[in-house]
A and B are shown apart, each in its own frame.
Chain A
Amino acid sequence: MPQKNILIIFFVSLISTCAGYSCSSSGNAGSGPTSKSEQLVLTGSSTVAPLAVEIGKRFESLHPGIRIDVQTGGSSRGTADARRGLADIGMASRALKPEEEDLLGFTIAQDGVCVIIHGDNSVNELSDEQIAGIFSDKINNWKEVGGQDAPITVVNKSEGRATLEVFLKYFKLKNSEIKADVVIGDNEQGIKTISGNRNAIGYVSIGTAEFGSQNGVPIKLLPAGGVKATTDNLAKGTFPISRPLNFVTKTEPEGLIKEFIDFAQSDQVHDLVKEQYFVPTTK
């Protein structure tokens, strides 16, 4: 008898789970009875996503009944999803490429990429040629660029990341030329790797690096082209390795999409942009 009860409970719960699932999924797919609530889907860059989430929250609180759904997946996914119509807005943490000219980009903030080394390293400045030489394995020891006698640990980003593309473009390198000793994923892993290795050199998002060094992480931000790596210089437009954070659409935005993009570009969200260590754009 108890055996039978367990079985009945098992099947009832199984059926109800299935029913619950199909019910909720159909509710999401169709416009259904809750057509009053509208939804915007954003996909793409993991650099832009946290900012988009914050902007989305503020937008939702000002427009009850509207939901902003943000999913990450990289800049290339963002542009591809916008093109295929899988997302209302794509997110890209770089300028649009020539092959993406069919899309429209809306810059919501600026970010920079800066080269960082360990805080104990005696080197304070490297020329663009020296950095290119280090990353392409022509320079292997810190003493060749005025530092201590120690082999250089080159920290590179993994294939397909927008930060990597911005870095390669500025230093005119190809990824296959780079001889890395360590390959990392996100900025945070980069900061941890470089702060844990006296002889490491790498590059990360300037905001992340500035936040880290202001909070006692032993890293040093190297200037680029003679300009100090700070978000202030980025805002002034003097720091050379910068990238726009973009919203991307396939067609001229209208309705809710236009409203959201305008909101993201307005000064109503400048405090959110600064909180994420990005630089607001003035339209």
Chain B
Amino acid sequence: MFRLQSDTLLVWALRACAALAGIIVLLILVFLVNEALPALRDVGPSRFFGDKSWHPAEGAAQGQFNLTPMLWGTLFVTTGAVLVATPLGIGSALFCHFYAPSTIAGPYRKLVELLAGIPSVVYGLWGLVVLVPIIGDFHPPGPSLLAGTIILSIMILPTIALLTDATLSNVPKEYLQGAAALGLSRWGTIRGVVFPAAKSGIFTSVILGTGRAIGETMAVLMVCGNVVQIPNSIFDPIRTLTANIALEMAYAMDDHRSALFVSGLVLMAMIVALVAIAEFISKGHVYD
């Protein structure tokens, strides 16, 4: 009887927590739409993708409100970072799990955890005073898509490495023993047994890394140059949607401020698309 009571209590507490989490997301969405509405009304949704450039401070009538270059900027820098960090992260986790002797694997794992704990502004400052001048020396101006990609890769690398590592340790021991009994080589075991078993976990780690890359603001703001343009090469400066908000929010009024919330809405749409793609792929192929 006593046990039943506490169970009921727990269930309701958990339900409350779940409801709270759900409500928070909805509230954020309502708030975003509410703040973005004045700009959507005064400027019109089409101008956010059709105007010549981004000069929102001059007001709805004379200003320019094109968000597309920033959408591309976010996409390019995120894709670049994921392409660089994924093989490195998975490689690092494999090394840690299957190749490194335990005396090295332990400290190495701690190092990667440390990498995950460094605040993003520190990465940004390092990028600004070390990385950007190096890039600028052989291809001016320096702050660029390339700098952003490198910084973001380093930032999401530990996310991918640590989560893949956790997934690898969840592969049942029997599988590995079975592979050993069959006389498979270490790489043969990894390719034929570990990867198929850990596929969904690795995929999730990459998605989480991508999410972090899309949302990263401070470091990207400091190294990417923040020029609103679609880049022609990896040495061109770009501005991401997050950097746009961080750069201008403190100084924005009226329609300008509201336009920044539209920028936030577009960012939200990107994340929703990412989650939808992840859901689609995981239903279709990965978890089979």
**Complex interface: chain A residues within 8 A of B221 (CB):** 185
Stretch among A2-10, A252-260, A261-269 lining the B interface: A2-10
Contact A160 B256 (CB under 8 A): yes
Q: Of B9, B142, B225, B251, which one neighbours A74 at CB under 8 angstroms?
A: B251
Q: Which residue of chain B has the shortest Cβ distance to A160 in the bound complex?
A: B251
Known contacts A197-B136, A199-B140, A200-B141: A175-B225 contact under CB 8 Å: no
**Complex interface: chain A residues within 8 A of B54 (CB):** 159
Contact B248 A80 (CB under 8 A): no
Residue count of chain B within 8 Å CB distance of chain A: 35
Cα–Cα distance between A215 and B56 once the two chains are bound (Å):
37
Q: Is B252 an interface residue (CB 8 A)?
A: yes
**Complex interface: chain B residues within 8 A of A205 (CB):** none
Q: Is A282 an interface residue (CB 8 A)?
A: no
Stretch among A57-65, A188-196, A233-241, A243-251 lining the B interface: A188-196
Known contacts A7-B6, A160-B256: A73-B136 contact under CB 8 Å: no
Contact B55 A175 (CB under 8 A): yes
Contact B136 A181 (CB under 8 A): no
Q: Is A208 an interface residue (CB 8 A)?
A: no
Cα–Cα distance between A192 and B54 once the two chains are bound (Å):
25
Cα–Cα distance between A182 and B250 once the two chains are bound (Å):
19
Residue count of chain A within 8 Å CB distance of chain B: 36
Cα–Cα distance between A183 and B144 once the two chains are bound (Å):
11
Cα–Cα distance between A216 and B128 once the two chains are bound (Å):
18
Give min CB distance, A141 to chain B, whole Å: 11
Q: Of A11, A181, A192, which one neighbours B225 at CB under 8 angstroms?
A: A181
Contact B55 A196 (CB under 8 A): no
Contact B6 A197 (CB under 8 A): no
Contact A4 B142 (CB under 8 A): no
Q: Is B132 an interface residue (CB 8 A)?
A: yes
Q: Is A148 an interface residue (CB 8 A)?
A: no
Q: Of B57, B142, B248, which one neighbours A175 at CB under 8 angstroms?
A: B57
**Complex interface: chain A residues within 8 A of B78 (CB):** none
Cα–Cα distance between A80 and B239 once the two chains are bound (Å):
28
Contact A183 B6 (CB under 8 A): no
Give min CB distance, A8 to chain B, whole Å: 9
**Complex interface: chain B residues within 8 A of A4 (CB):** 6, 9
Contact A72 B250 (CB under 8 A): yes
Give min CB distance, A274 to chain B, whole Å: 26
Contact B227 A183 (CB under 8 A): yes
Q: Of B57, B64, B142, which one neighbours A160 at CB under 8 angstroms?
A: B57
Give residues of chain B (244-286) contacting chain A, Cβ–Cβ below 8 Å: 246-248, 250-253, 256
Q: Is B205 an interface residue (CB 8 A)?
A: no
Q: Is A107 an interface residue (CB 8 A)?
A: no
Annotate A147-185 by CB proximity to B: 1 below 8 A, 0 otherwise.
000110100001111000000000000011000111111
Contact A77 B253 (CB under 8 A): yes
**Complex interface: chain A residues within 8 A of B67 (CB):** none
Q: Is A231 an interface residue (CB 8 A)?
A: no
**Complex interface: chain A residues within 8 A of B56 (CB):** 159
Give min CB distance, B283 to chain A, whole Å: 36
Known contacts A7-B6, A197-B136: A158-B247 contact under CB 8 Å: yes
Annotate B134-157 by CB proximity to A: 1 below 8 A, 0 otherwise.
001000111100000000000000
Cα–Cα distance between A159 and B133 once the two chains are bound (Å):
25
Known contacts A160-B57, A175-B57, A192-B129: A197-B9 contact under CB 8 Å: no
Q: Is A46 an interface residue (CB 8 A)?
A: yes
Contact B226 A183 (CB under 8 A): yes
Identify the 10 closest CB pairs spanning chains A and B, nearest first. A160-B251, A74-B251, A183-B226, A153-B141, A196-B133, A181-B141, A158-B247, A182-B225, A159-B57, A4-B6
List 21 A-B pairs, Cβ < 8 Å: A4-B6, A7-B10, A77-B250, A158-B247, A159-B56, A159-B57, A159-B248, A176-B53, A180-B227, A181-B140, A182-B142, A183-B225, A183-B227, A183-B247, A189-B128, A196-B128, A196-B142, A197-B132, A197-B142, A199-B136, A199-B141
Binding site for B on A (CB under 8 A): 3-4, 7, 10-11, 46, 72-77, 80, 150-151, 153, 158-161, 175-176, 180-185, 189, 192-193, 196-200
